[in-house]
Amino acid sequence: MNKEIKGHIGFIARLIAGLSLTTAGFQKTLASHTFLAWQLQGLGLPDFSCSFLAYVIPYAELNLGLMLITGLFLPAAASALAIALAIEEIIMLQAWLRMLPAAGLNIFGIYFASSAAWAIFQNALLIVLLYPATFSGKRLTLDFLIENNISRRFK
C-alpha cells in the first residue's frame, strides 16, 4: 500500500479514536463526581476505588484523546489508551456476565446509555483503531513536526 494512503488512514483512525475519547471524557467532566462514582460502583468496582477513579477517568480520557488527535507523545498516549481500554473491557465484560443492572449505563459515554455488549464492541473497535493510528501517518503528528524543527535548528 502507498505510504501516503497509509498516512491518511492512520490520521483518520487517530481522529476517530481521539474524538470519541475526547467526547466521552468531556461528557464525564460535565457530569457530577457522585454520579460517575455511583456508576462505577454499579459496574462492580470496589467502593474505595470508585471515588478516586471518578476524579481520574474523565481528565485522563480527555487528555489522552487530545494527545491522540494532535499526535503529541503518540506512542505513550496510544499505549496508555490501549491499556485503559483493555481494563475497561474487563470491567464491562464482568458486569455484563454478572448481569449487573448498571452495565447498560456505559462508562464510554455517560449520556449515550446503551447495552453492555455495545460498549464492549465500541472499546474493541477503538483498540483495533489504535494500531493504524499509532504506526501509520506519523508525518501528520506534532511529534514529527517538533522533531523536524529541533533537528533543523541544531544542524
Amino acid identity for residue 77 in this structure: A
Q: How confident is the model at residue 104 (pLDDT cuts 50, 70, 90)?
A: low
CA distances 133 to 28, 41, 138, Å, are 24, 32, 9
Question: What pLDDT is stored for residue 105 in this prediction?
Answer: 53
- Give CA–CA dist 20/81, Å, rounded: 12
Task: Count Cα atoms within 13 angstroms, Cβ side, for 93.
Answer: 11
Averaged pLDDT for residues 29-48: 85
Contact call for residues 27 and 139 (beta carbons, < 8 A): no
Would the pLDDT of 129 be above 80?
yes
- Give CA–CA dist 10/101, Å, rounded: 37
Amino acid identity for residue 154 in this structure: F
CA distances 149 to 8, 26, 54, 70, 145, Å, are 22, 32, 39, 16, 6
- Give CA–CA dist 93/110, Å, rounded: 17
Would the pLDDT of 125 be above 60?
yes
The whole model's pTM is what?
0.82
Would the pLDDT of 114 be above 90?
no
Per-residue model confidence as pLDDT tens digits over 5-30: 888 888 899 999 999 889 888 888 88
Give the residue among 69, 104, 68 at the shortest CA–CA distance from 84: 68
Question: What is the residue-averaged pLDDT of the chain?
Answer: 83
Question: What pLDDT is stored for residue 80 in this prediction?
Answer: 92
Domain ranges, residue 58: 3-153
Q: Structurally, how many domains does the chain consist of?
A: 1
